[in-house]
Amino acid sequence: MAKSAAGIKEALFSGSMDMEEMKESLDLYRDLFPLSERGLKPKNKLRPPGKEEAAMRLREGFTLLEPEDLMPAENALHKKAGEVLAVLQQHSEGKGAVAGSSDTLKDKKLLAQLVRIYLEDGEEKLREDIGTYPSLNPELALFVVFNAVKGSFRDAGTILEDIDTQAWEHGLCPVCGGAPAVACLEGEGGKRYLVCHRCETRWRYARVMCPYCGNNDHDNLGFFTVEGGQDTLRVDFCNSCKGYIKTWDIRERENSHPEVEDLKTARYDLAAEGEGYRRGAPNIFGVWVGFDLEDLEEQEEGDR
């Protein structure tokens, strides 16, 4: 499915956050965007599969790319991570956590090792490993690792966007194996697509099935909308894994970017968390959008 960095940028810099008190996070994403616009070159030249090989891989359940093929050179990684940290620092005034982790993450070898773990084994394994470094704030370290390679993932998605992925029926991205950040309904009859939080590839998925656990028992799946919210957005939830995914109906607006709208609609995440559900995957900047409910409860009261 076609996507363009220019379109993403335009979507990101228009509109506003749907909750005033979450405005800061949208500002952070806007400042981060330029860092992801051009990804780091993989150390070994990327060799996208040819048409036949691609078709075979997808049929057999293999992603088109192995994420570890995106591993950049150590120096380039070090520079990019430094830029991500600088943006983060600007948005976290007075918080010591950035400074402490920042020194540790400036160790080139360690940083490269963390990135390699993320690419080879994913976020969960990286989370475990980070736990063994007392000087690292886990959320912050994950954020830096993710955003240092975010552009490389998006570039890979763009390189492979013309490959037909119709044969793929899984809940993870056919290009890189990333989990879907959001879903959308588009085309005739509203076919359902998922959007990868890493490379932003869109792929077709069953209409009534949880992408995170594969549950397709419709008694255990549902959706809700938010009063006073957007009429083209709903939250699809699964009572089997307690995951949720925001779904945009973009039949009337085929060129929209639900993965970017995701960043501006924190109210829906808050509502879903309030109902006891959790996002099944981070947003396109690698953030899980965890809310401090106590902080926000007061505001909610005031809104009523």
Nearer to Zn ion, 230 or 240 (CB): 240
Nearer to Zn ion, 167 or 241 (CB): 241
The single residue listed with the structure tokens 């953030």 is 287
Neighbours of 95 (CB within 10 A): 13
CB–CB of 144/88 below 8 Å?
yes
Q: What is the DSSP string of 184-209?
A: EEETTTTEEEEEETTT--EEE--SSS
**Least gap, CB of 75 to Zn ion (angstroms):** 26
Nearer to Zn ion, 85 or 281 (CB): 281
Nearer to Zn ion, 79 or 242 (CB): 242
Tell me which H or E stretch contains 154: helix 138-159
**Least gap, CB of 215 to Zn ion (angstroms):** 5
**Least gap, CB of 175 to Zn ion (angstroms):** 4
Q: Rounded to an integer, what distance in angstroms lies between the CA atom of residue 108 and that of residue 112?
A: 6
Q: Position 255: which residue type?
A: N
**Least gap, CB of 34 to Zn ion (angstroms):** 21
**Least gap, CB of 176 to Zn ion (angstroms):** 3
Cα distances from 292 to residues 41, 180, 235, 269, in angstroms, run 37, 24, 20, 12
Nearer to Zn ion, 215 or 230 (CB): 215
Residue 149 is encoded by which pair of tokens? 């390679």
CB–CB of 195/184 below 8 Å?
yes
Give the three-state DSSP class for 136.
coil
Under the rule (CB under 5 A), what is the footprint of Zn ion?
Answer: 173, 175-176, 178, 196, 198-199, 201, 210, 212-213, 215, 238, 240-241, 243
Give the dihedral sign, CA 118/147/10/249.
positive
Nearer to Zn ion, 173 or 266 (CB): 173
Nearer to Zn ion, 100 or 122 (CB): 122
Cα distances from 263 to residues 29, 77, 295, in angstroms, run 8, 25, 19
